[in-house]
Structure 1
Amino acid sequence: MKLSVCIDARMINNSGIGVYILNHIKNYLYDDEIELILIGDKNNLIACLGSSFTRAVIIEDLTQIYTIKEQISLYLQIPECDIFWSPHYNIPLLPVKARKRLVTIHDTYHLTYASTLSLPQRIYSKLVLSQAVTKSDAIICDSYFTRDEIKKHFPDISLDPFVIHLGIDHSLYRKIDDTSLKDRLKSKYQVPDNYILFVGNVKPNKNLSTLVKALGVINKQGLDRKLVIIGKREGFIGKDDTLTELLNNDYELSRNVIFTGFVENEDLPILYNLASVFVFPSLYEGFGFPPLEAMACGCPVVASNFASIPEVCGNAAFYINPNSAESIANGILSVLNDNELRNKLVLAGLKHVHRYLWSDTVSETKKILVSLCKK
């Protein structure tokens, strides 16, 4: 008899959580022991899954996340099934028809950085996260760091969260030697030679302002290096007052920061391949895909020594203090100026990243699904 699993797939188009949802769904669609029920935008699901969408039952739901409306909708939409799985902490607060509940909590950003949220957002995230750890029959985390953060914020939690590291797509993120392809991408995105690369968003924990300051420290030494940021300038400027001030008031600094605009998913690995160094100065991460993606592409990684990052990157990154522009600059310069160190990081990264396979993530998650139904 098949295990019926209903997944809230409304966030399948999101950059991080969407990758998590999509990789699980793609694998479970062809698992003879699992019957999938997907809640979400039917058109989005068909676009993501192609013809294989017919192997799942799709329940249309267009409600926005983090809203009261989603609570009512999920209560009405979730059918009778063995397990309802929330791949994010925004679980339904009302009773559901599923026998068991599973939740994945990727991080506790909304608690740790509560000061950056509006009052309604703070109230909602605190309420829903607290219910996620009390109403669920099992909790999955992406890292031991996140597991410890959950226990810190909710010391009375009765469950011991499972830790399952994520994977990356090794068929997409890989070393690319095609020089003509690289040249076309350089022209398409107007990026220079030997650039420093940042991939991420502008949330305060990403610490982009300090990275830009570090670029200033580097270029004061006469190196004239460019920082390439994946994304649209308007997506960053205006959301970070410090960054806005830095780029608006310092012409020399601003001219050395390049925003690529929107980057196609299949183009991102080539931009990793073209970079001299990838920098991840984040203050807070539940996991963090970009350093692993860079490693898989043979790009040396300079990374923060905060949060889950050392757990995920192991001995394959050059670590810096993300609160110090000088530390970030010194880390970047060390990799740029020391070929032996650079080659060591590249080789270590290529070896290390093969620990992160979606097949392993999906397999470990399935064990939890099966064990839940035996209880």
Structure 2
Amino acid sequence: MTTTQQQNIPVIWINARFLTRAITGVERVAIEIISALVEHHLDAQGQWHSPGGRIQFQLIAPRTATALNNPWPSLPMKQTGTGNGHMWEQTVLPIVTWHDGLINFCNTGPLFKRCQWMFFHDAQTFAIPENFTKALRFWYQTLFRISGYFSIGILTNSRFSAKELSRYAAIAPERITVAPLGADHMDRRKADFSQRLQALMDALKGKPFVLAVSSTSPNKNFASVIAALSLLGEDAPPCVIVGQRYDRVFASSPIDTQRVHHLGYVSDGELVALYQRAGLLIYPSFYEGFGLPPLEAMWHGCPVIAANTSALPEVCADAAIYCDPHQPQTLSDAIARVMQNEPLRQNMRLLGIQRARKYLWSNTVQHVLDSLIQNLALHSSQTSRDL
């Protein structure tokens, strides 16, 4: 790697293209990892005093009409090149970082760069290709295979995802570092009992409710939520739904919509308030590389029913009750069992809190740094042999 101009310090760039787009799941993960890196490991100049010496971390992002907001003042940011999409990532980014290291936290990065780390969050485009367009499926499958081969380090969030990446993208298991995500960001989010939440609580009249996340993505399996509530009939508890409305599922269901309250998109503070008040979170997703919402709910003492598939049992362990996402009856049975048993819910609250406290972003970033140390040493020895 090259070094900073004034001092003999190697540079590792952080791909910050995610700062130019709307914040969704993978962008939030990148923000939390970088925040933990800055808080626990970097000095005021963005330097890491590693066992082998100092390393300078720097952000790199596309040039935009106005300067991007940098959430980390101690991390220098370079904005360069034109465009802000995959073309920038495949042309400008590898050229500017040619002699340096690069970390990509959001699934994408240069195809052929050698001294880089890719954080792949799951293998959905391989495992459930029908959920993606042909173009998107082809691009991500190609990127995962090629950059997965050339990169000196691969990071992912669970043992399940590591196995999936090895299976589908032919990445050798020993090249993958598992860096489980954290949930302690929930401590920084304060409950917001907004006017619409207060109105909702008044409408519920103190009745315990289940919380669900709606999405038009078939993977989230919202149809099973509605089917399970329909199976419970008059015994179905009130259900509060957050996220994008999936009207087609509602239209095909006989469930009494008077007992279903759809809030649409909610703020982080409103979501915390719902976690704190809900009797149960139901999360019957077909496929998750990690599954952060159940942990977020557990952090606030909300019991969880999750699907018995993919990474969810690995993440939630014995703190959740599981259902078969392909069998709505198992979800309805689990809802009835939990909502009608207050001692069980209380035990699940305690187990959930204990489980969630094991997932800290400081641990995530330590796994990332361990991968840097291991793979930089290997890269240096290989480069020396090549010379």
Match of 1:89 among 72, 88, 107: 107
Match of 2:35 among 15, 20, 26: 26
Structure 1 Cα separation of the partners of residues 270 and 32 of structure 2: 20
Amino acid at match of 1:146: S
* 8 Å contact kept, 1:63–1:73: no
The aligned counterpart of 2:182 is: 167
Larger mean CA deviation between 86-95 and 116-125 belongs to 86-95
The aligned counterpart of 1:324 is: 327
> How has the CA–CA distance of structure 1 residues 87 and 200 changed in structure 2, closer, same or farther, with 3 Å as cutoff?
farther
The aligned counterpart of 2:76 is: 56
Amino acid at match of 2:227: K
> How has the CA–CA distance of structure 1 residues 337 and 2 changed in structure 2, closer, same or farther, with 3 Å as cutoff?
farther
Secondary structure of the 1:307 match is coil
The aligned counterpart of 1:240 is: none
* 8 Å contact kept, 2:179–2:365: no
* 8 Å contact kept, 1:195–1:275: yes
Gaps of 5+ in 2: 1-7, 49-54, 379-387
Give 1:374 shift: 2.1
Structure 2 Cα separation of the partners of residues 81 and 257 of structure 1: 56
Structure 2 Cα separation of the partners of residues 141 and 339 of structure 1: 37
Match of 1:150 among 165, 187, 190: 165
Match of 1:230 among 234, 242, 247: 242
- 1:362 and 2:365 matched: yes
Amino acid at match of 1:88: C
Counting only pairs closer than 5 Å after superposition, residues 186-335 of structure 1 correspond to structure 2 as 186-187=197-198, 192=204, 193-199=207-213, 201-218=215-232, 220=233, 222-233=234-245, 236-237=246-247, 244=248, 246-250=249-253, 252-335=255-338
Match of 2:14 among 7, 12, 15: 7
- State the Cα deviation string for residues 252-310 of structure 1 (Å, max 9, x = none): 44443322122112221111111110011011100011011111111111111101000
- State the Cα deviation string for residues 127-163 of structure 1 (Å, max 9, x = none): 1111122011011110000011111113463753111
- State the Cα deviation string for residues 29-71 of structure 1 (Å, max 9, x = none): 350314222233678995461xx33532232567455x45642
Amino acid at match of 1:20: V
Gaps of 5+ in 1: 238-243
Amino acid at match of 1:275: A
* 8 Å contact kept, 1:63–1:70: no
Give 1:328 shift: 0.3
Give 1:81 shift: 5.2
Structure 2 Cα separation of the partners of residues 114 and 213 of structure 1: 25
Amino acid at match of 1:351: Q
Structure 1 Cα separation of the partners of residues 363 and 171 of structure 2: 31
Amino acid at match of 2:324: N
* 8 Å contact kept, 2:112–2:151: no
- 1:39 and 2:60 matched: yes
Amino acid at match of 2:94: Y
Structure 2 Cα separation of the partners of residues 59 and 29 of structure 1: 20
* 8 Å contact kept, 1:28–1:36: no
> How has the CA–CA distance of structure 1 residues 328 and 252 changed in structure 2, closer, same or farther, with 3 Å as cutoff?
closer
Secondary structure of the 2:208 match is coil
The aligned counterpart of 1:108 is: 123
Amino acid at match of 2:238: K
Structure with the greater alpha carbon radius of gyration: 2
Larger mean CA deviation between 122-131 and 192-201 belongs to 192-201
Structure 1 Cα separation of the partners of residues 70 and 92 of structure 2: 23
Secondary structure of the 1:258 match is strand
Larger mean CA deviation between 154-163 and 286-295 belongs to 154-163
- 1:122 and 2:122 matched: no
Structure 2 Cα separation of the partners of residues 296 and 173 of structure 1: 11
- Please give the root-mean-square deviation of Cα atoms over the aligned residues, in Å: 2.7
Secondary structure of the 2:14 match is strand
Structure 1 Cα separation of the partners of residues 372 and 339 of structure 2: 46
* 8 Å contact kept, 1:7–1:36: yes
Structure 2 Cα separation of the partners of residues 226 and 80 of structure 1: 56
Amino acid at match of 1:10: R
Give 1:167 shift: 0.3
Percent of aligned pairs sharing the same letter: 24
Structure 2 Cα separation of the partners of residues 261 and 42 of structure 1: 34
Give 1:182 shift: 4.5
Amino acid at match of 1:55: L
> How has the CA–CA distance of structure 1 residues 223 and 63 changed in structure 2, closer, same or farther, with 3 Å as cutoff?
farther
Structure 2 Cα separation of the partners of residues 61 and 313 of structure 1: 43
Secondary structure of the 1:58 match is strand
* 8 Å contact kept, 1:5–1:84: yes
Amino acid at match of 2:167: K
> How has the CA–CA distance of structure 1 residues 72 and 345 changed in structure 2, closer, same or farther, with 3 Å as cutoff?
same
